[in-house]
């Protein structure tokens, strides 16, 4: 994906080297990064034991940088298809505000820096998990699965599931059943979240040849899979209350949010025609973000309150 390739896709828009600070920030995928950082913070706070505040800040910063680096490398590799998708056409490389080489260098430097800093200053278990996360997102999901199989988001979703486990490891130096449960919640959440998006962005994916489930298996099968994964996600989200990771407030919240998630997933499965089909898919996509955020926010809040009154 050098400059000449991008010229073919974008016509008169030639990549330049005049990228602004805002372009580099956009390259980090800040909205995705914010959710990553929040789940990592939850992993740190819920972990047993303590971490020095300075090391805790370093851990969060390096996880943030690592997540942003993965986003930058994803935009570097996917610049050709980003240029032809409505949702991504305004990104810095497709719009010619940044060269592909700049994005590659930026993402590579940040990746190495974040992993080494986390490993050296905090611990190497957390550093290794961050390295696995970045490598999995780039090599397994972006370079391999995304353009190969409709199961891309199922397997590739593991990359976005690691942050709470990294946060946990930053405090404890290891991995436990509690951190695995947090990993699994995000892992099961990812397919219905992204397939809801893919339902109303199907033409974008079809245009660029990315075999998202609606493109390959059709909308009906995608709706069925969203429903099945939602049925698995909702009870799994209650598990933290049974492994000592969360308390009764979380349990009630998880049940209430889960009921709403299932309702919206059922609406997606039931409504199959016209603009309303896109509307219910958009509602599920939007709510799914709020769902995950609130689950981790309540889990985090319970632990903060418990420590304050202890």
Q: From residue 155, how far is each of 70, 111, 145 by CA, in Å?
A: 16, 22, 8
Residues 254-264: what's their mean pLDDT?
98
138 — phi, psi (to 5°)? -80, -55
Residues 175-200: what's their mean pLDDT?
96
Residues 179-194: what's their mean pLDDT?
97
108: Cβ contacts below 8 Å, ≥ 6 apart: 69, 73
Residues 263-286: what's their mean pLDDT?
92
Indicate whether 16 pLDDT > 80.
no
How confident is the model at residue 203, as a pLDDT?
A: 87
How confident is the model at residue 11, as a pLDDT?
A: 41
Q: How far apart are CA 232 and CA 228, in angstroms?
A: 7
Are 231 and 108 within 8 A, CB to CB? Answer: no
How confident is the model at residue 275, as a pLDDT?
A: 85
Indicate whether 36 pLDDT > 60.
yes
| Confidence label for 2 from pLDDT (cuts 50, 70 and 90) | very low
Higher-pLDDT residue of 309 and 73 is 73
How confident is the model at residue 307, as a pLDDT?
A: 84
Residues 43-69: what's their mean pLDDT?
95
Crossing angle between the packed helical segments 100-121 and 124-135, to the nearest 10 degrees: 160
| Confidence label for 246 from pLDDT (cuts 50, 70 and 90) | very high
Indicate whether 198 pLDDT > 90.
yes
| Confidence label for 17 from pLDDT (cuts 50, 70 and 90) | low
How confident is the model at residue 9, as a pLDDT?
A: 45
Of 137, 133, 160, 126, nearest in space to 58 by CA: 126
Of 34, 45, 78, nearest in space to 208 by CA: 78
| pLDDT tens-digit series, residues 202-239 | 888 988 989 999 999 999 999 999 999 999 999 999 99
| pLDDT tens-digit series, residues 104-156 | 999 999 999 999 999 999 999 999 999 999 999 999 999 999 999 998 999 98
248: Cβ contacts below 8 Å, ≥ 6 apart: 241
Crossing angle between the packed helical segments 53-77 and 163-172, to the nearest 10 degrees: 150
């Amino acid at each position: 994906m050098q400059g000449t390739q991008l010229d073919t896709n974008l016509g008169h828009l030639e990549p330049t080297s005049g990228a602004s600070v805002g372009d580099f920030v956009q390259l980090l995928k800040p909205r995705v990064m914010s959710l990553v950082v929040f789940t990592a913070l939850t992993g740190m706070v819920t972990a047993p034991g303590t971490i020095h505040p300075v090391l805790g800040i370093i851990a969060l910063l390096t996880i943030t940088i690592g997540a942003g680096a993965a986003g930058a490398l994803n935009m570097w590799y996917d610049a050709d298809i980003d240029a032809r998708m409505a949702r991504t056409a305004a990104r810095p490389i497709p719009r010619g505000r940044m060269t592909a080489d700049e994005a590659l260098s930026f993402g590579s430097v940040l990746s190495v820096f974040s992993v080494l800093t986390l490993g050296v200053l905090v611990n190497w278990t957390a550093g290794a998990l961050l390295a696995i996360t970045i490598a999995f997102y780039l090599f397994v999901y972006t370079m391999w699965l995304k353009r190969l199989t409709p199961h891309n988001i199922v397997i590739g979703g593991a990359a976005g599931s690691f942050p709470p486990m990294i946060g946990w490891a930053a405090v404890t130096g290891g991995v436990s059943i509690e951190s695995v449960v947090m990993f699994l919640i995000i892992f099961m959440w990812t397919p219905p979240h992204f397939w809801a998006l893919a339902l109303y962005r199907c033409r974008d994916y079809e245009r660029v040849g990315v075999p998202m489930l609606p493109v390959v298996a059709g909308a009906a099968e995608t709706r069925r899979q969203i429903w099945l994964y939602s049925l698995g996600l909702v009870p799994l989200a209650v598990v933290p209350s049974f492994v000592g990771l969360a308390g009764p407030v979380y349990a009630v919240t998880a049940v209430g949010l889960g009921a709403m998630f299932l309702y919206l997933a059922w609406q997606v499965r039931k409504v199959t025609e016209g603009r309303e089909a896109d509307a219910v898919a958009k509602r599920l996509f939007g709510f799914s973000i709020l769902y995950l955020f609130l689950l981790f926010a309540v889990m985090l809040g319970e632990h903060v309150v418990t420590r304050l009154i202890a």
